[in-house]
Structure 1
Amino acid sequence: MSRAFLKNESADDPVVIPARAPLPPGATNYVTPRGLALLRTELAGLEAERTHVQAESDEAERSRQLALINGRIANLNQRIGSAKVIDAHDQPHDEIRFGATVSLHSQTGRATIADKKLTIVGVDEADATHGRIAFTAPVARAMLGKRVGETVSFPAMQGVSIMEITEISYDE
């Protein structure tokens, strides 16, 4: 049986450090204050995990786990170090910018498309299931600079969905 189907990893196997959400080349790493707090909380958790792993007895497994944790910490420190915090209260409240929560109403009249509420956040904070979209996402880029009453087109399963911007807020 191929080793690909086994969960057995040996100490000689290379350590693969999971990549963070990508930023486009040359893009500034914008974050909300909440996003920066989440990154710092993640870092504290990894540092606590590293301390716990250092106490383990199996040298080979400890070495692998520490390499993985240290790599993740290095990636996280790099992301935190490059973060540029944007305070939503400093944004123009009549225009969609980074940190805005946008309420959208369907203009197509199809019952399958519900009204949406989306918040534009940093790449590490993005979570589509909670309506948080990265500023690098095509949907976010299409909304940037728009105002209440304007429309935005979104690709949908049944073609293009046209949504009207009904509210812009900066609650963060």
Structure 2
Amino acid sequence: MSRGFVKEEDQEETPLVPPRADLPSGSTNFVTEVGMEELRAEKQALLDEKSKINAATEQEKRIVSNFITAKIKLLEERIATAKIVSLDDQPKHEIRFGATVKLKIAKNSKLMTYQLVGVDEADISKNKISSISPIARILIGKKVGEETILKLAKEDRVFKVMEIKY
């Protein structure tokens, strides 16, 4: 039936689902083993949430269900393209995907620690940065004692590698 013959109150809005973290076209979706476990746990939580929808009307239930289904679809696409990188296989003497690095930043005496992870794992509050971020890209391949420079609009920031762990 044409949408023109449907009562206005019966029409449902298409849920707007926020996109997942940006993964540039052509980029490999690297994840750590922990990151893959987190993606699977996130999917299970969404499935659990969907099975327990408590809405006042059938229409509200459908809207919430459609929203969760759309989030699951995006998540399943990300899981399907994920390539797990074993941290045990990474070279211990240089920064690669999954490395946890201690850095001295510019003249700051306090050391900062970051782990280079996949885009879905990145969370600055946990000191996890995306391996495709500008900082991570300048650190890849560096060894303890080496310095690298991140060019910013108003200054150049120098990072010195103090420690690498996997």
Question: TM range, normalised to the smaller chain?
Answer: 0.7 to 0.9
Q: Which amino acid aligns with 1:18?
A: P
For 1:2-22, what per-residue CA distance to the aligned partner results, in whole angstroms no more than 9, with x for missing partners?
xxxxxxxx9632211110001
TM-score normalised over the length of structure 1: 0.84
- Summarize the alignment of residues 129-148 of structure 1 with structure 2, pairs less than 5 Å apart: 129-148=125-144
Query: Which whole-Å CA distance do the structure 1 matches of 2:103 and 2:131 have between them?
Result: 17
- Summarize the alignment of residues 9-158 of structure 1 with structure 2, pairs less than 5 Å apart: 12-53=12-53, 56-106=55-105, 108-110=106-108, 114-155=110-151
SS of equivalent to 2:93: coil
Q: Which amino acid aligns with 1:63?
A: R
SS of equivalent to 2:65: helix
Cα 1:145–1:110 change in 2 (3 A) is closer
Query: Which whole-Å CA distance do the structure 2 matches of 1:102 and 1:142 have between them?
Result: 13
Query: Which whole-Å CA distance do the structure 2 matches of 1:102 and 1:166 have between them?
Result: 7
Query: Which whole-Å CA distance do the structure 1 matches of 2:120 and 2:75 have between them?
Result: 10
RMSD between superposed Cα atoms in Å = 1.9
SS of equivalent to 1:105: strand
Percent of aligned pairs with the same amino acid: 36
Is the Cα–Cα contact under 8 Å of residues 32 and 121 in structure 1 kept in the other structure? yes
Is the Cα–Cα contact under 8 Å of residues 11 and 61 in structure 1 kept in the other structure? no
| Deviation beyond 6 Å, 4+ runs, structure 1 | none
Q: Which amino acid aligns with 1:34?
A: V
Moved more, 39-48 or 149-158: 149-158
Query: Which whole-Å CA distance do the structure 2 matches of 1:28 and 1:158 have between them?
Result: 32
Q: Which amino acid aligns with 2:58?
A: E
Query: Gapped runs of 5+ residues in structure 1?
Result: 1-9
Q: Which amino acid aligns with 2:120?
A: D
